[in-house]
Amino acid sequence: MLNIDVNQLQQALSNIMVNAVEAMPTGGTLTVATEMDEDEGHYRIMIRDTGSGIAKDNLLKIYDPFFTTKEGHTGLGLAITQGTIENHKGKIHVKSDPGQGSEFTIELPLAEG
């Protein structure tokens, strides 16, 4: 069982998925998978796309407020997403390979009791 604010988590996941879709302007595959690891005490959500990927130089900046590589965007989506996950005592990780896509993994602690 998770102790989460459903609306906040929905917005965080939406931010990642919108970015994934935008990274695949000519199509691709968006995969969302979940798993519960009771031994480690967390719930994992993986969001993977086959889009353009994130340049290595940008990987450390993607959670910085106002950092964006997209014209007309605010650069707040992933900053808000990271804050939401951390407010839920969770962690967010990203792996990306330019030209191959990206994978975001969110780990949220299971509620005790």
The whole-angstrom separation of Cα 75 and Cα 64 is 8
Closest CA to 46 of 113, 90, 85, 94: 94
List, in sequence order, every residue forming a beta bridge with 95; answer none if it has no partner.
103
Kindly report the pTM of this predicted structure: 0.92
Residue range 39-96, pLDDT digits in tens:
999 999 999 999 999 999 999 999 999 888 888 788 789 999 999 999 999 999 999 9
pLDDT class of 113 with cuts at 50, 70, 90: low
